[in-house]
Structures are given as structure tokens and as C-alpha cells.
Amino acid sequence: MVRYHIVVHGRVQGVGFRYYVREKAFLYGIRGWVKNRFDGTVEIEAEGMEENIRHFLGSVREGPRYAFVENLEINRRADLKNYEEFAIRF
């Protein structure tokens, strides 16, 4: 298991991005959370198996239909939080 902190830049608010991310997290068995930030980015904490995280990040880069992902800031974290589910935070 690994944990990543991700910040997504681009047109990622108001396009169903958080719901898309939650759907992909369920698909790949990822736990953690996603939330909009005040600066227009989306923040993600994701825990899961390394290969599943890789597939999840590929989906996040693609985004939903009306989103445009410019950049991902991806940082691996040393510790696990042992999240029980994947949630949308407000």
C-alpha cells in the first residue's frame, strides 16, 4: 500500500470532476478523499496498491468529458492514513 497527495490543475471545478474521481477510486480500490480548493484546483489523497494508483492517476489525467487537466502535482507520502473509503470532502 502507498499513499499519494495529488493537486490537479486546469478546468477541474464545475465539471463533475470530484464525482468522476470518486467513481475511478471505487473502480481501482483506492481509498482517501477529493475536494475542491479555493484556488480552482482539486486536491486528492489516495491510498492503494501501487499498480492501482498508477491506473487511477491515468484516469485522473484524462478527467471527465468537460474537464481539461493541465497538470498534476504528485507527491508520495511516507505514512499511510488507512482510510476506510473514498469520500468527497467539502
> What are the catalytic residues?
18, 36
15: CB partners within 8 A, 6+ apart: 63, 64, 65, 66, 67
CA distance 85 to 48: 11
Question: Beta partners for 68?
Answer: 11
* Three cell numbers, residue 57: 492517476
